[in-house]
Structure 1
Amino acid sequence: MSDGATQNFVDKWLAVQPQQRIALGFVDEASRDERVALAALEQELISSAYGIREPQVAAAKLQWWAEELSGAAASGGRHPLTKALFASPRAKQVPSALWIAPVLAAMAQLEQGTSSDFAAQVAASRGLHGALAALENAWWFGVDAPVESAARVATLAHLVFALSRLELDAERERLPLPMSRLARHGLSRGQLKADSPARRDAIRAQLAELAQGLREALSLAEPLSTFRGVEGRTALATAKSASRAAEPFAELHRRQARTGPATAIRAWLAARHAGRFG
């Protein structure tokens, strides 16, 4: 992308998902810029939902995004990413409800606490991440494209990433481990900041469930964008490897930042899968 303001947000997305730099080479050049802009917008909304510790500040930021996206079809937008997206005729083919849904879901979950169990955690996270997946699939494949696989992948990949922030988020209302898992392994909130056999076992158990869910989601014969496919395959490989490691938390961090030949293969597989649907 030539626009410096837009590139700044793209760089923020790539800093969180470095494997997507390799995926860029597998995306059709004719549509690459607008698809990258959508991925960067998704990252901005995720950052607004999770990266701001004060709920009132996060709510104000999300309210701004709600106003921005609800009026962008008419105004063309004010934010560099909104301008880039709504310069494309494709933006107006996506129903306005799909643009607003992620923001509304993010606002609804601001006051959420720690989920009771794994199933409840997945359900709570799917509000935002499922809405983002629906928006992305509509952009890539059309408004009638199925979204179950994409929604599951987006949700579970987020939970893998959230687990890597366990120590940073140990004092937040919403913990990356559900309450039932903490109870099963005899862990208190304060014990999440330090390594221990119990914490390792809890992390391994969480990762094993996430890996199983990702495996099932990726096996569905439904459309996934190249970026979503890479994200899901990377999260699956990360969860599988870390769940078996002697030090799962360290392996989780190491795998998330890793790129190489395996990443290129995942990107090729993701692009081939996306190509089957349009």
Structure 2
Amino acid sequence: MSDAAFQSYVDQWLASDPQQRVALGFLDPASRNGHVALAAFEREIVGAAYGIREAQVAAVKLNWWAEELSGARASGGRHPLTRVLFNQPQADVLPMEFWIAPVLAAMGQLEEGTAADFPAQVAATTILHGALARLETGWWFGAGADPGRATAVATQAHLLGSLAMVDEQAEVERLALPMARMARFGLTRAGLRMDGPARRDAVKAQAGDIAAALRQAAAPGAPLSLFRAMTLRQARRRAEQAARAVEPLAVLKQPPAVGGPSTALFAWRAARNSRRATQSR
């Protein structure tokens, strides 16, 4: 990771998800740059999809990524992340569709509004995060690997992150709480900005549904990359804590933890599971 431009994207990813610093120590040095580049690339696509208020500006950025990825196999790429990614053996094996699908999914949801209910919200969110999970799972374990668990984790973790900003994004088109949840607790957009029993109960209910989905995803099954396993552990804990808390939003807004010995032990086990899944394909 000597290239300064590449490192700047890695640093941004690690700043947004500090626990992954622990995970880095358990990666094979030969594959570390590629895995890290993919994680930082995923952050770029998610940031364009959700972090840019003007849909036209987001579309321009995503169109650039579509062009960049379409030509990267031949050119080696122009972007620092693309250059690293397409210098890895996986770049010659994964279908180009795996690369383009997340960008197209991100474009398709730029104008989406608030979902009607939680299942509809999950379905809408899965379109983008499922495409990212398929790319990531294929990268780590081969194009034929099942991305089902990774999709569930990516989707629910995103919904949890959105829920943490429910009060800050009361004016956006796509709210963190689905319409049915808002109606059940008598919440308006204005009510999302103010603390009160209705908002607390709605956030707790949403966190409870997310926690239940993450508990299901935690059951053994399809492989998870080391980074996705770390996300599952932290997101599940935070969702469960928020679902029980008197002030659930305060729990969700706590800075992400880097972790201690238990996190390191979990990362070691998750890395071992990832290696075994790779070897058994």
Rounded to whole Å, the distance in 2 between the matches of 1:162 and 1:15 is 17
Rounded to whole Å, the distance in 2 between the matches of 1:265 and 1:208 is 27
When the two structures are superposed, what TM-score results if normalisation uses the length of structure 2?
0.96
Residue 195 of structure 2 corresponds to: 195
- Paired residues of 1:152 and 1:217 also in contact (CA < 8 A): yes
1:204 maps onto 2:204 in alignment:
yes
Residue 144 of structure 1 corresponds to: 144
- Paired residues of 1:22 and 1:263 also in contact (CA < 8 A): yes
Residue 71 of structure 1 corresponds to: 71
Within-5 A mapping of 1:1-278: 1-254=1-254, 256-257=256-257, 259-278=259-278
- Paired residues of 2:73 and 2:86 also in contact (CA < 8 A): yes
> CA RMSD for the aligned pairs?
1.2
Rounded to whole Å, the distance in 1 between the matches of 2:170 and 2:94 is 38
- Paired residues of 2:102 and 2:131 also in contact (CA < 8 A): yes
The runs of 4+ residues in structure 1 deviating greater than 4 Å are none
Give the number of equivalent residue pairs.
278
Q: In structure 2, the residue corresponding to 1:224 is in which secondary structure?
A: coil
| Deviations 1:160-215 (CA, angstroms, capped at 9, x unpaired) | 11111112211000001100000001000111112111111001000110011011
Which AA in structure 2 matches 1:222?
A: A
- Paired residues of 1:214 and 1:232 also in contact (CA < 8 A): yes
- Paired residues of 1:234 and 1:266 also in contact (CA < 8 A): no
The alpha carbon displacement at 1:221 in A equals 1.2
- Paired residues of 1:245 and 1:251 also in contact (CA < 8 A): yes
The alpha carbon displacement at 1:75 in A equals 0.9
Rounded to whole Å, the distance in 2 between the matches of 1:106 and 1:216 is 26
The alpha carbon displacement at 1:257 in A equals 4.2
Rounded to whole Å, the distance in 2 between the matches of 1:59 and 1:199 is 33
Rounded to whole Å, the distance in 2 between the matches of 1:269 and 1:170 is 40
The alpha carbon displacement at 1:258 in A equals 5.5
- Paired residues of 1:149 and 1:220 also in contact (CA < 8 A): no
| Deviations 1:55-85 (CA, angstroms, capped at 9, x unpaired) | 0000111011111111111111110000011
| Deviations 1:214-233 (CA, angstroms, capped at 9, x unpaired) | 11112141110000000111
Pair 261,251 (structure 1): closer, same or farther in 2 beyond 3 Å:
farther
Greater Cα shift, 163-172 or 267-276: 267-276
- Paired residues of 2:49 and 2:110 also in contact (CA < 8 A): yes
The alpha carbon displacement at 1:25 in A equals 1.0
Which AA in structure 2 matches 1:127?
A: I
Pair 17,189 (structure 1): closer, same or farther in 2 beyond 3 Å:
same
Pair 116,140 (structure 1): closer, same or farther in 2 beyond 3 Å:
same
Q: In structure 2, the residue corresponding to 1:110 is in which secondary structure?
A: coil
Paired-residue identity, %: 58
List alignment gaps of at least 5 residues for structure 1: none
- Paired residues of 2:21 and 2:258 also in contact (CA < 8 A): no
List alignment gaps of at least 5 residues for structure 2: none
